[in-house]
Structure 1
Amino acid sequence: MTEVQKLAKFVSSRKFSDLSEAAVRELKIRLLDSLGCAIGALNGEPVKMIKEQLEDFGGNPLTTLIGGQKNAPDRAAFYNSALVRYLDFNDSYLAKNETCHPSDNIGSVLAASEYADKDGKDFLTALAIAYQVQCRLSDVAPVRDKGYDHTVQGAYGAAAGAAYALGLDVTKTANAIAIAATAYNALRVTRTGNLSNWKGLAFPSTGWTSTHSAFLAMRGITGPEEVFEGNKGFKETISGDFEMDWEKEDLERVTKTIIKKFNAEIHSQATLEGLQDLIAKEDLFPSDIESIVLNTFDVAYNIIGGGEEGGKKNIWTKEEADHSLPYMMSAVLLDGNVLPAQYLEERILKDDIQELLQKVTVNEKKEYSDRFPFEMANDITIKMKDGREFKVEKTDYEGFSSRPASWDFIISKFRNLSNDFISEELQNEIIATVQNLENHSIKELMQLLEKAGKPEMAEA
Structure 2
Amino acid sequence: MSEARSTKGERMSVTQRLCQKIDAVSFDSLPATVVDTARGAVMDGVANMLAGSQEPLASTLLSHLSRFPAAPGATVVGHSLRLDPFQAAFANGTFCHSMDFELMWYPPNHPTSPTLAAILALSELREVSGRDAIAALVAGFEIQGQLNQAIVDTGVRWPGGLHPPGLLGPFGAAVASTKLVELSVHQTQNALGIAASRAGGLMANTGTMTKSSHCGHSARVGLESALLAEVGYTASDDIFEATHGFNDVYFGGRLDLEPVVEAFGAPFRMVDPGMSVKKYPAQYPTHWSIDAALRIRSTGEFDPADIAQVTVEVGADNESARVERPTTGLAGKFSVSYTVAAALLDGVIDIDTFRDERLHSPDMQRTLEKVVIIKNPAVRAMDFAEAWSRVTVTLTDGSQHTARVDRPLGIWDNPLPWDLWVEKYQRCATRAVDADRAKEILARIERLEELSDLGRELTPLLSTQ
Name the counterpart of 2:279: 261
Query: How far apart are 1:350 and its partner, in Å?
Result: 0.9
* Deviations 1:283-331 (CA, angstroms, capped at 9, x unpaired): 23222212211222344x2x1102xxxxx13322233110011011111
- How far off is 1:52 after superposition? 2.9
Does the aligned pair in 1 maintain the 2:285–2:382 contact within 8 Å?
no
Superposition TM-score, scaled by structure 1 size: 0.90
How far apart are the structure 2 equivalents of 1:141 and 1:112?
Answer: 30
CA contact (8 A) 1:313 1:358 kept: no
Residue in 1 aligned with 2:462? 449
Q: Cα 1:342–1:3, aligned 2, differ >3 Å: closer, same or farther?
A: same
Name which of structure 1's ranges 40-49 and 393-402 shifts more when overlaid on structure 2.
40-49
Whether 2:68 is the aligned partner of 1:91: answer no
Aligned to 2:217: 205
With 277-286 and 167-176 compared, the bigger mean Cα shift is at 277-286
The answer to whether residue 138 in structure 2 is matched with residue 128 in structure 1 is yes
Equivalent of residue 353 in structure 1, options 360, 364, 385 = 364
Q: How many residues align?
A: 439
Q: Deviations over 1:30-66 (max 9, x none)?
A: 2112211211122222212322333212335343221
Change (3 A) 1:419 1:186: closer
SS in 2 for 1:35: helix
Local SS of the residue matching 1:295 = strand
DSSP 3-state at the match of 1:31? helix
- Alpha-carbon distance in structure 2 between the residues aligned to 1:447 and 1:24: 23
Distance 2:263 2:308 in 1: 54
Partner AA of 2:149 in structure 1: D
8 Å CA contact 2:285–2:381 kept in 1: the answer is no
Q: Secondary structure at the match of 1:413?
A: helix
Taking the TM superposition and a 5 Å limit, the aligned residue runs for 1:321-400 are 321-369=332-380, 372-400=383-411
Separation in 1 of the partners of 2:131 and 2:16? 24
Compute the displacement of 1:224 (Å): 1.8
Q: Distance in 1 between matches of 2:263 and 2:47?
A: 34
For residues 58-95 of structure 1, the C-alpha deviation after alignment (integer angstroms, 9 at most, x for no partner) is 33534322133433221111111112111111111121
The yes-or-no answer on 1:79 pairing with 2:91 is yes
Alignment of 1:42 onto 2:53: yes
Q: Name the aligned partner's letter for residue 417 of structure 1.
A: C
Map residues 110-121 of structure 1 onto 2, 5 A cutoff: 110-121=120-131
Task: Give the aligned partner of residue 309 of structure 1.
Answer: none
Do 1:20 and 1:252's aligned partners in 2 also have CA atoms closer than 8 Å? no
DSSP 3-state at the match of 1:415: helix
Secondary structure (helix, strand or coil) at the match of 1:12 reads: helix
Residue in 1 that maps onto 2:18: 7
Distance 2:26 2:123 in 1: 15
Paired amino acid for 2:169:
G
Gaps of 5+ in 2: 1-11
Structure 1 runs of 4+ with >6 Å offset = none
For 2:102 and 2:382, the matched residues in 1 are separated by 24
Among residues 177, 184, 191, which one is paired with 1:162 in the alignment?
A: 177
Matches within 5 A, 1:277-316: 277-299=295-317, 301=318, 303-306=319-322, 312-316=323-327
Amino acid across the alignment from 1:354: Q
Q: Does 1:417 align with 2:428?
A: yes
Task: Give 2:8's aligned residue.
Answer: none
CA distance in 2 between counterparts of 1:207 and 1:336 reads 36
The alignment partner of 2:433 has SS state of: coil
Relative to its length, the structure with more helix (as a share) is 1
Partner of 1:439: 450
Evaluate the alpha carbon distance shift between residue 107 and residue 279 of structure 1 in structure 2; reply closer, same or farther with a 3 A threshold: same
Q: 1:457 maps to which residue?
A: none
Q: CA deviation at 1:18?
A: 2.3
Residues 168 and 199 in structure 2, CA contact (< 8 A), matched pair in contact too:
no
8 A contact 2:381–2:388 mirrored in 1: no
Alignment of 1:249 with 2:264, yes or no, is yes
Q: Does 2:110 align with 1:101?
A: yes
Cα distance in structure 2, aligned partners of 1:294 and 1:144: 27
SS at match of 1:294: strand
Residue 295 of structure 2 aligns with an amino acid whose one-letter code is D
- Map Cα deviations across residues 359-391 of structure 1 (whole Å, 9 max, x no partner): 222233344328932244221111112111111
Kindly indicate whether residue 167 of structure 2 is the aligned counterpart of residue 149 of structure 1: no
Structure 2 distance, partners of 1:122, 1:62, is 22
Match of 2:31 in 1: 20
Q: CA RMSD in A?
A: 2.0
Q: Which residue of the partner structure matches residue 235 of structure 1?
A: 247
- Secondary structure of the equivalent of 1:381? strand
What does residue 458 of structure 1 align with?
A: none
Q: Is the 8 A contact 1:59 1:72 kept in 2?
A: yes
